[in-house]
Amino acid sequence: MVTEPAQRLVRGVRWRALRGDTENMCVRLCRVAELSAVQEIDRAAGQMFNEVDRPEVCGMLWHPEALAACRDEGRLWVITGAEDWPAGFLVTDMVDGCVHIEQVSVDPGNARRGLGRALLDHAAEQAAAAGVPALTLTTFADVPWNAPYYVRCGFRVLEDREVTAGVRAIRQREASFGMDRWRRVCMRRDL
């Protein structure tokens, strides 16, 4: 029996906590009507950086137009539960022949239920089916839900000589936003 998901209201968007309801999880492309929910997940997940004394990161949010463009290009995925409402999202891109994870975020009310890993696994399955050799990403080295988490999901930290030109350009862009105030790493998950 599936229990009724808990609900809470955050800035006008009703969140449905999945309460361990992994049986009904679904990863699919984001719908236009869900873009505001994705923005709220982005905002809520970003607030977690206050816990690690990085308040500047909390304000580094996706612009609505950029999210809409990612959705239109088929690069914005959501994970839902029984009520078919986003509880997390994933944005991907192709960089140097690999699927690059631009962002994976889960609403904090649904954290620690395997949703982020399910999104990453979905990206890996899609990439492998298309003959793509790996997933890549850039992340904070010491934030528990960043590099240490990705290692548990099958990623490894790249040596400087392994970083491709496209990923190096992403790191340079991140540095221009001030993200190099904290140690960042490039990671890869071979498929």
Provide the β-strand partners of residue 157: 187
Task: Indicate the residue type of 120.
Answer: L
- The pair of three-digit structure tokens given for residue 146, joined into one six-digit string: 């960043």
- The candidate with the shortest Cα–Cα distance to 150, out of 139, 159, 161, 162, is 139
Can you give the pLDDT at residue 181?
87
Task: Indicate the residue type of 158.
Answer: L
How many of the other CB atoms lie within 10 Å of CB of 91? 24
Give the pLDDT confidence of 34-80 residue by residue, as tens digits: 999 999 999 999 888 888 878 777 778 899 999 999 999 999 999 99
| Higher-pLDDT residue of 95, 47 | 95
| Higher-pLDDT residue of 61, 105 | 105
Residue 2 confidence (pLDDT) above 50: no
Section 172-177 average pLDDT? 92
DSSP symbols for 126-169: HHHHTT--EEEEEEESS-TTTHHHHHHTT-EEPPGGG--HHHHH
Residue 135, Cβ density class (10 Å: 0-12 exposed, 13-18 middle, ≥19 buried):
buried
